[in-house]
Structure 1
């Protein structure tokens, strides 16, 4: 696909057992130094966090926010475009962008104006507005799927689609990739143990049933495994990202998507592509860029410039089968939808985002910045002879601690090093740069500049030089 780059780092430095090329003791020492710098620079953020601990577990409004690098998370005062300012008045270049939720840049003026207008004339109505058809038509033109429904998140979209797939096929199981992420959909929190058995993923909280009862798992890029699972006749749908993104970026090998399409058609299985993160590949995500032919596409986050929203698009055949098989009397009680789904405010935000913010012209600027970021990091890795690699997917790129890009989610997860990742995030924060948490990943918005990218390259070079000295 155009706009993708793999740039492995060259050479090997150090000799640590982890294979990252850096000394773990050096990581510990530098982390302690960076934590002290962070705490001294962000005393008001620290005080706000201490206050919050009295009323919120971990002092954060959602538990995963406690995992940010540093002794406490930053508290944001203002955000605009590709920058935000914390409570201590320190400005940051934001290369996280709400992990895609603010891929537009923070509060783009067109979306802010549309939201303000709609808020003044009605936020949620349980009735459609003109914006609904406009957004559906725009998504059809981008993704090629003619029928759309709207939700409050990509999680909702994925959950609803799984139910429809089971309903249409009469089959019980969902097929996902090992180490996948599709929001908080229960069926997707499954992995394979050493014997190849389906088991709960580490950290899976309160699964309603063992995932082995609902889910089959394969390694990404493993066509033979997909064929084996589909041949059981039990798989209602394949739910996958076109490229894995949440365990790191894992790109599809040549022919993988063609095989997925062929096998799902052969076995009567619904093919669902989750483009929530891979929208970074272009205006129509990887579906348009790689001319993919899914039965269903799911989307979320970036569509509304940060206003909660999601969507799923269906082929005419799937939409017709749903329409004919669900009685009108039952459409509100089947587990698909929600009172706030398709609300007027979300649709106003989506219309403005698609028509005025995440436009083809915007992507024409974002994609080269993704290449610039990846090439800058790859150059630093080569200069320092560190055995890491860079992978890019459109306007998103990351580096990871292995010499070559992974071909499966399991390989990507095995290459992680949490203490090293924490240090690199802390170092970036102290240089005024926010990366996507839990990855070494950057996302480039329409408001990101070449200077922002080069600032990261310089900061990355500085910390890596200290690590391998």
Structure 2
């Protein structure tokens, strides 16, 4: 019997049936996959696009709102939404207009326009941090803020939580194993020891946090308010308050990565939970699906950044190089779209629609899990929720990872895909957008219930 409470033989039977159905339903995707194999590494433009539950890549023709259509003409209700990149729906009308408006005005100039000023004002009002910078991805934003934190504190060590997700920042690609920090499994071409300047500890472990900070070498703690990529893990009551107290006590900065947790509300967990960080980073949905990211800082940090910058300039002759910023950072197209997104899309009204749907979906998951007699749990965070193969919601990344059951998860995902529903791959996370309807939510619940009913009816599915 699997750790999920369902026999592996039954899972395999359903998976093979669903794989055959996918291959039969998607001849054009199969043809494109074969064609792509001769020009794209692995047959896809980014290698992880091969890691979905489908036996061959699913090719998309167009997407709008909460739906997309594949090249074989099948329509899908999308609860993945680009893994938050399209958190407010695919191609929202204001973003489509902004792209069209800016297309003939210049796409990138390395110079600011009025859009940048307005966007900065809106970000400051929304998140409560007064000063902002713009990058292209959340990985960039996190990388740049880590540099600032090290420059400001004069310390080198970064503290992260086991199972964290902060894009592809090298410093964060570590895990906590048996009381020590190790490289994350599967890293390709890793040439230097990440553990020299990065330390990992379990989420929600205040004793480990205090012990790590007490060494006096931590420049910053970089954390998601709630973990979202190892399986969702919510903070324990009082955790964030103590985290903020301890970082201040030991002279370490606090960086809050809101890239996924912005599902909580217009100001993310930072506003909802009064987190008081020194820095915020945020990527993916900030420009309505156009690549863009931001990082904000307190007035004290802005002053310290200016002093650090002046000090660095004194150390070199001629022009220095901060190691931050790319040519396309804060490009005109992204800035125009971010302004439109903040003004017209990422609004309180949008969240007033999304949040009740997230709650409806979480409650529906709980009800069907109970009806099917499964020892699973549900974690929710605003418009986002996830069902997990453990009886009690996990408190650490290790607990969330221990609840993974890849073959079951991929089988259920494939079943949903074959019936026109997409959820986030690699675990069971869902997201509702302003175009998601109650009927969409109910359809996902009913289809998952149907999948579980068919699975549990197979020989050997239920075992003592």
The TM-score range, normalised by the shorter chain, is: over 0.9
Q: Deviations over 1:319-370 (max 9, x none)?
A: 1110122139688611011111111111111111111011001000100000
Tell me if the contact between 1:154 and 1:299 (Cα under 8 Å) persists in the aligned partners.
Answer: yes
Alignment of 1:451-462 (within 5 A): 451-462=439-450
Q: Secondary structure at the match of 1:105?
A: coil
Q: Residue 228 of structure 1 corresponds to which residue in structure 2?
A: 211
Q: Residue 7 of structure 1 corresponds to which residue in structure 2?
A: none
Q: Secondary structure at the match of 1:216?
A: strand
1:313 alignment partner, one of 296, 309, 314? 296
Pairing 1:46–2:41 present: no
2:381 alignment partner, one of 374, 382, 393? 393
Tell me if the contact between 1:220 and 1:408 (Cα under 8 Å) persists in the aligned partners.
Answer: yes
Q: Residue 217 of structure 1 corresponds to which residue in structure 2?
A: 200
Pairing 1:433–2:433 present: no
Q: Secondary structure at the match of 1:420?
A: helix
Inter-partner Cα distance in structure 1 for 2:194 and 2:251: 23
Inter-partner Cα distance in structure 2 for 1:72 and 1:368: 35
1:164 alignment partner, one of 144, 148, 155? 148
Q: Deviations over 1:361-414 (max 9, x none)?
A: 100010000011111111100001111111100000110100010000110001
Q: Deviations over 1:227-283 (max 9, x none)?
A: 111111111000000000011110001100001100010111110000000000000
Tell me if the contact between 1:198 and 1:211 (Cα under 8 Å) persists in the aligned partners.
Answer: no
Q: Residue 335 of structure 1 corresponds to which residue in structure 2?
A: 323
1:378 alignment partner, one of 355, 359, 366? 366
Deviates most, 374-383 or 198-207: 198-207
TM-score, normalised relative to structure 1: 0.95
2:56 alignment partner, one of 59, 64, 72? 72
Q: Deviations over 1:6-38 (max 9, x none)?
A: xxxxxxxxxx2x331111100001000000111
Alignment of 1:70-219 (within 5 A): 70-194=54-178, 196-219=179-202
Tell me if the contact between 2:3 and 2:405 (Cα under 8 Å) persists in the aligned partners.
Answer: no
Q: Residue 255 of structure 1 corresponds to which residue in structure 2?
A: 238
| Runs of 4+ displaced beyond 6 Å | none
Inter-partner Cα distance in structure 1 for 2:152 and 2:242: 22
TM-score, normalised relative to structure 2: 0.96
Report how many residues are paired: 452
Q: Secondary structure at the match of 1:311?
A: strand
Tell me if the contact between 1:118 and 1:344 (Cα under 8 Å) persists in the aligned partners.
Answer: yes
Inter-partner Cα distance in structure 1 for 2:437 and 2:191: 46
Q: Residue 340 of structure 2 corresponds to which residue in structure 1?
A: 352
Pairing 1:277–2:265 present: no
Inter-partner Cα distance in structure 1 for 2:214 and 2:153: 14
Inter-partner Cα distance in structure 2 for 1:390 and 1:208: 39
Deviates most, 137-146 or 327-336: 327-336
Q: Secondary structure at the match of 2:104?
A: helix
Inter-partner Cα distance in structure 1 for 2:435 and 2:191: 42
Q: Secondary structure at the match of 1:326?
A: helix
Inter-partner Cα distance in structure 2 for 1:44 and 1:370: 34
1:27 alignment partner, one of 11, 22, 31? 11
2:248 alignment partner, one of 265, 273, 281? 265
1:70 Cα offset (Å):
1.2
Deviates most, 321-330 or 366-375: 321-330
1:165 Cα offset (Å):
0.6
Unaligned runs of 5+ in 2: 458-464
Inter-partner Cα distance in structure 1 for 2:126 and 2:236: 24
Q: Secondary structure at the match of 1:121?
A: coil
Q: Deviations over 1:179-219 (max 9, x none)?
A: 1110000010101223x221101112222421210111110
The verdict on how the C-alpha distance between 1:271 and 1:416 changes in structure 2, with shifts beyond 3 A counting, is same
Tell me if the contact between 1:69 and 1:422 (Cα under 8 Å) persists in the aligned partners.
Answer: yes
1:160 Cα offset (Å):
0.2
Pairing 1:362–2:350 present: yes
Q: Secondary structure at the match of 2:42?
A: helix
1:467 Cα offset (Å):
1.9
Unaligned runs of 5+ in 1: 1-15
